[in-house]
Chain A
C-alpha cells in the first residue's frame, strides 16, 4: 500500500448561536436605530478542525463544542466588541503520544474545559447597498485535567490529560443591505488555531509526561452566510465556511464548516 495518509473528509461544523440582548444588533444585520451600549449574549457552537502535530507529519481532528455567556459593548457607531466566557468540550481523538513510556492514542472523546474569548466587528465603509467591514474573533479553551484508566496492562495505570487551544479569526466582511430583514454576507480571513495537549502517564513506578503541540492546518478561511430578521425581537442566521489546507501526503484538503445561529432580543 502506498504510504498515503487517509484522505480525510472535510470536517463539517454545525453551530447554534443563541444571543439575547436588550436591544438586538446581530453581527451583520441591520443597524438598529436605538441600540443600547451593553447587551448580554448567550451562545452555543460546535466546530471541528484538522490539526497537525509531530512537526506537522501527522494529523487528526480537534472537535470542540462550547456554551458561552458574555456581553456586547458598542464603542462607537458601527463598531462593537463582545467578550464572553463559558464551558467547552474538546475532543482530541486521534492524537498519539509516542514519547511516554507506553505510547497512547487518545480516543476518549470530549473532555471539559473553560472557554473565554472576544469578538469585534466594525463597519468601515458603505457603498450603496453594501457594507464593507472587519470582523475578528479570539477563542481560548483551557481544558480541565481529566483522569482516565489505561487498560490492557498487567498493572493498573492512569493518565491525566488536559488540552488547551487558541483560535484566531480575522478578516474583511462584505454585507449586502439591499433586502428588507435579510442580510447576506461573505467573509475572508486568517483562521489560525494553536493548541497543546499534555498527558501524564503513571503505571506503578513507571511514569512519564508528554506535551503535544498542535496547529490547525490551513491559514485562510472563506465564509458565507446570511442573517434573517424574523421579527422585531428575534432572528436567525446561517454561515458556511471552507478552509483549505495542504495534506501531509500531498494534495489539497478542505475543512468545511457550518453555523446556525438564533438570536432573541429581550
Chain B
C-alpha cells in the first residue's frame, strides 16, 4: 500500500475528456427566466414581517392634519406612502413591538386598517436559468439539454430537491470541503460560495483555483449559488465550499496530498467532505485520514468509481465513508458505476450539468458542462448531507449516513429488493431525508 498511489477523479479525467464536452447551450439561447412562484415557507427562524415597521391606511375622509397627528400620537415616523394604495409605511418607536403598534393603530377610529409589513419569500423553485436541465434535482420528464437529440428523463427520477428545499436550504456555517482539482474562484455560480481561496496541496499555496474543471463541477453541484438568476442550482443553497486542491491539472493526485487535504478539512471547520476521487489500491494513510475526519464529526462522501468493478478507495472505507453509486435520468443504475457491498446509496450521475471554469470554457459556450460519473453523484450526496447537518447539527456522521440510507428510494427493487451492491439502499431522496414524516396510526 503506497501512500503515494495515484488517485483519479471519478467523472473527471475520463468523463470530461470524452463525454462532458461543453454541451451547454451557446450564449444567447439560454432558457427563459423562471419567475418565482409562491412560497409556503413558515420557518421558525424566519421573521414573518419587517421589524420596526407597520402599514397603515386611514379612512378616506381623514384629513392630512389628522393623519399626521395620529402618527405623532403614537410616536411613529413617516417613511413613505404607497400613493395608489394610500397606505403609509411608518417606523414605530424603538422598544415597541409591531403587534402592539398594530393594535394601537387599529384602535384609532380614523384608521381603516393597520398591519405588519409582512415579508414575502420566493418559492423553493430557484430562478437559475439552467435549472430546467437539472433533472437530478427536479425531473419532470423534460429534455435534458438544448441541443437536438438531448435525452428525456423519467419524471420523478430525481432526488426530490424542491420538496426538500421547502424544509431547508442549508446554512453558511455548514461548510462542504471539496477535495479535488480546485474550484474556479471567479465563476459566477461559485465565487460567492467559496469560504476562501482554499488550500492548494499540489502547488503548496493558498490558491485552490481549478486548472482541470472537475472540482468546479463537483462544487457547483453540491452548492452552486442558487436563485441568483443565472446558471444552475446547487443542492445546498446556502452552504459554503472550502476548495482543497489535491488533484493536479490531469485529474490525478497522490494519496498523501488527498490525505493531507482530508485532515485539513477536518481541522478547519468542514462538516462535509466530498471525495469525488478514488483508486483501486487500498491505503492505510487514506483510511486513517478518513477515520480522523469522521471521528472529528465530519461526514465524508466518496465516489464508488466508474469502471463497473469493485468499489474503489476511499469509498470502500466503511464505516467512515459513504460510498455513492450513480443512477441516470430514468433512475436506472449507470453501467459504469462500481459495485460492491460498500455502496451505501446512489444519486444521479449521468448527464449532470455543472459549472465549468471560465478559463477552460471555449468561446461561444456558457461556462457549464454536462458530465457523467459517480463523482457527480457524490456531489449531490454531499449537498444533501450539508442540508441534513444544517437542520440537525447535533447528528454524528454515522447518523447522517443512516438518514441518507434509510430515506433512499429503492429504485431497483423489482430486481434487487432492499439493499444491494449496485445502488445500496437506493437513489437518495432529500424530501424523505429532511421533511417531517407523517406519523399516522
Give the interface of A toward B (CB within 8 A). 1-5, 54-55, 57-58, 96-99, 101-109, 148, 150-155, 157, 159, 161, 203-206, 208, 246, 248-251
Q: Is the CB of A105 within 8 A of B437?
A: yes
Residue among A3, A96, A151, A250 with the most chain B CB within 10 A? A3
Listed stretches B75-83, B301-309, B355-363, B399-407; interface member: B399-407
A102 to B42, CA, bound (A): 19
**How many whole Å from B310's CB to the nearest CB in chain A?**
23
Residue among A109, A153, A159, A204 with the most chain B CB within 10 A? A153
| A102-B407, A107-B438, A203-B406 as given contacts; A153 in contact with B432, CB under 8 Å | yes
List 20 A-B pairs, Cβ < 8 Å: A1-B39, A1-B40, A3-B39, A99-B394, A102-B407, A102-B433, A103-B391, A104-B436, A105-B439, A108-B439, A108-B440, A108-B441, A109-B441, A150-B437, A152-B437, A154-B410, A154-B418, A205-B402, A249-B118, A250-B99
Which residues on the A side are within 8 Å of B120 (C-beta)?
A: 1-3
Q: Is B419 an interface residue (CB 8 A)?
A: yes
Q: Is the CB of B399 within 8 A of A248?
A: no
Q: Is the CB of A250 within 8 A of B426?
A: no
Closest to A205 in B: B402
Q: Indicate the size class of the contact surface on chain B.
A: 35 or more
Give the interface of B toward A (CB within 8 A). 38-46, 48-49, 98-99, 102, 115-116, 118-121, 123, 167, 391-392, 394-395, 399, 402-403, 405-408, 410, 418-419, 425-426, 432-441
Q: Is the CB of B437 within 8 A of A2?
A: no
Q: Is the CB of A2 within 8 A of B118?
A: yes
A202 to B433, CA, bound (A): 15
Which residues on the A side are within 8 Å of B435 (C-beta)?
A: 103
Q: Is the CB of A206 within 8 A of B403?
A: yes
Q: Is the CB of B402 within 8 A of A105?
A: no
Q: Which residue from B48, B403, B406, B408 sits with its C-beta under 8 Å from A249?
A: B48
Which residues on the A side are within 8 Å of B441 (C-beta)?
A: 108-109, 148
**How many whole Å from A230's CB to the nearest CB in chain B?**
40
Q: Which residue from B38, B49, B399, B405 sits with its C-beta under 8 Å from A250?
A: B49
Q: Is the CB of B48 within 8 A of A154?
A: no
Closest to B402 in A: A206
Q: Is the CB of A154 within 8 A of B406?
A: yes
Closest to A146 in B: B441
Q: Is the CB of B426 within 8 A of A154?
A: yes
Q: Is the CB of A203 within 8 A of B402?
A: yes
A168 to B121, CA, bound (A): 39
Q: Is the CB of B437 within 8 A of A154?
A: no
A248 to B116, CA, bound (A): 12
A55 to B43, CA, bound (A): 12
Q: Is the CB of B44 within 8 A of A107?
A: no
A105 to B42, CA, bound (A): 15
Q: Is the CB of A154 within 8 A of B118?
A: no
Q: Which residue from A54, A99, A161 sits with its C-beta under 8 Å from B392?
A: A99
Q: Is the CB of B392 within 8 A of A101?
A: yes
Q: Which residue from B46, B167, B402, B439 sits with its C-beta under 8 Å from A101?
A: B402
A235 to B21, CA, bound (A): 86
Closest to A55 in B: B44
Which residues on the B side are within 8 Å of A108 (C-beta)?
A: 439-441
Q: Is the CB of B419 within 8 A of A104?
A: no
A201 to B235, CA, bound (A): 27
Which residues on the A side are within 8 Å of B392 (C-beta)?
A: 98-99, 101
Q: Is the CB of A58 within 8 A of B439?
A: no
| A3-B120, A96-B436, A108-B441 as given contacts; A58 in contact with B44, CB under 8 Å | yes
Q: Is the CB of A101 within 8 A of B403?
A: yes
Q: Please name the 6 residue pairs, one residue from A and one from B, whose CB atoms are nearest each other, closest first.
A: A1-B38, A57-B44, A103-B436, A105-B436, A206-B402, A153-B406
